[in-house]
Structure 1
Amino acid sequence: MLYKEIHIGELIKSKTEEMEVTIRHIAEVFRIPEHTVLETFGKKELPTGELLKWSKLLRYDFFRIYSQHLILYTPQYANPVRKKEKSQLMQFRKNIYSDELIEFVLELVRTGKKTKQEIIDDYRIPRTTLYKWIAKHQVTSDL
Structure 2
Amino acid sequence: MNLKNIHIGSLIQCKVEELNIPVERMLKFLDCEEEDIKEIYQQKQINTDILLRWCKLLEFDFFRVYTGHLILYSPPSKVNKTLRKKENMLVFRKNIYTEGIKNFIIRKVITEQMTANEVISRYKIPKTTLFKWLKKV
Quote the residue 1:52 is aligned against. 52
* Deviation, structure 1 residue 12: 0.5
1:66-113 deviation digits (Å, cap 9, x = unpaired)? 01111111121231428xxxxxxxxxx655222222122112222222
Corresponding letter in the other structure for 2:42: G
1:124 paired residue number: 124
Q: In 1, distance between residues paired with 2:56 and 2:105?
A: 29
- RMSD between superposed Cα atoms in Å: 1.7
Q: Percent identity?
A: 43
How many correspondences in the alignment? 127
Which stretches in structure 2 are left out of the alignment for 5+ residues?
85-92
Structure 1 runs of 4+ with >6 Å offset:
none
1:132, 1:81 → 2: CA distance? Answer: 29
The answer to whether the Cα contact below 8 Å between 1:75 and 1:124 also exists between their aligned partners in 2 is: no
Structure 1 stretches of 5 or more lacking a match? 83-92, 138-143
Amino acid corresponding to residue 76 of structure 1 in structure 2:
P
More helix by share: 2
